[in-house]
């Protein structure tokens, strides 16, 4: 089952939140919230802390994923025998479907 390409925007949003610019947007939003909103009340602080930690976690996961992909690319390049899948531009769900098909066939 193939998913429509319009689902790629979810991946693009995920990648965008892992960029350093996302932290600048977060900081500007936090300053605007504190100065123009109700100040730094407990619920404001909790919301900003949750959003900030989400960005930190997203950044760390993206870095780890990129490191794993770089290592796998090097292994595939070195072995020369591996079946290369063209999944770089596919949605996450499509990649999972292809991985499952390979597991069943292997």
Q: Which residue has the higher pLDDT, 90 or 34?
A: 34
Cα 66 vs. chain centroid, distance in angstroms? 10
The predicted pLDDT at position 90 comes to: 72
CB 2 within 8 A of CB 94: yes
Say yes or no to pLDDT of 88 above 90.
no
pLDDT digits (tens, 9 = 90+) for 62-82: 888 888 888 887 777 777 656
* Distance from C-alpha of 95 to C-alpha of 85, rounded to nearest angstrom: 9
Considering the entire predicted model, what is its pTM? 0.62
- pLDDT tens, position by position, 1-40: 444 556 667 667 777 878 888 889 999 999 998 888 877 7
Higher-confidence position of 62 and 50: 50
């Amino acid at each position: 089952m193939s998913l429509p390409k319009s689902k790629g925007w979810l991946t693009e949003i995920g990648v965008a939140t892992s960029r350093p610019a996302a932290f600048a947007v977060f900081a500007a939003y936090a300053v605007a919230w504190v100065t123009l909103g109700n100040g730094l009340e407990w619920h404001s602080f909790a919301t900003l802390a949750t959003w900030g930690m989400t960005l930190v976690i997203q950044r760390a996961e993206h870095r780890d994923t990129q490191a794993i992909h770089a290592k796998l690319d090097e292994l595939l390049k070195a072995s020369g025998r591996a079946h290369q899948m063209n999944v770089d531009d596919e949605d996450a769900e499509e990649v999972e479907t292809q991985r499952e098909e390979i597991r069943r066939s292997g």
